[in-house]
Every structure is written in C-alpha cells, then in structure tokens.
Amino acid sequence: MCDLFGEKPRRAPRIIAHAVDVGVDFAEFKCKKCNWESGWLYVGDESNSKIRKGIPCGNCNNGDINEKSELQSRNQSETSLTVS
C-alpha cells in the first residue's frame, strides 16, 4: 500500500533470548539464533509471563543499551554494587 507520505519507518525486529532454566529466584536465558547464554540472572519478584517473554539477545542486538531488559539492567547494577 502506497501512502501519501511514503513508507512508515519501522524499528528492526529484536531477537529475543528465551528462558532455558528457571529456578526459585534465578533464570538462565539462551538465544536460539546465535546460542548466546545470559548466565544466571536474578529474577526475584518478576511474574512468570515476564520471564517467559524473554530478554533481548546481547549478541544479535549488538549489545545496544536501549535494548537491555529490566532484568539485565537490574542485575548489572546489583553486581556493580557487590563488586565495589
């Protein structure tokens, strides 16, 4: 369909890493496209549906800061506090 103003700009699709193993407070995610693994991330009080939704893949999305999920950013801030 041709629009008066041309094509609508669209964002490139995100590649999602889905949950592979979920424990009580931790989950591990893996990308099916590039086999990237997140390692164990603290999920704590997140809902099951949010965990099953997955997180953006670190490799396929070029590690873009805007593509990080809440789980990844929260875990990075917690690890930086414990390492210091």
* pTM of the complete model beyond 0.95: no
Greater pLDDT, 64 or 34 = 34
Domain count across the chain:
1
66 in a structural domain: yes
pLDDT given at position 72: 65
Domain membership of residue 26 as a residue range: 16-76
Q: 10-44: b or e for each residue (b if 16 or more CB lie within 10 Å)?
A: eeeeebbbebeeeeeeebebbbeeeebebeebebe
43 — pLDDT class (breaks 50, 70, 90): confident
Q: Can you read off the two tokens belonging to residue 43? A: 């999920």
- Contact assessment for residue 41 and residue 28, using Cβ atoms and an 8 Å cutoff: yes
38 in a structural domain: yes
49 in a structural domain: yes
4 in a structural domain: no
What residues contact 43, with CB distance under 8 A and at least 6 apart?
22, 25, 26, 27, 51, 71
5 in a structural domain: no
Residue 25 clears pLDDT 80, i.e. is over it: yes
8 in a structural domain: no
44-63: average pLDDT: 83
24 in a structural domain: yes
Residue 69 clears pLDDT 60, i.e. is over it: yes
10 in a structural domain: no
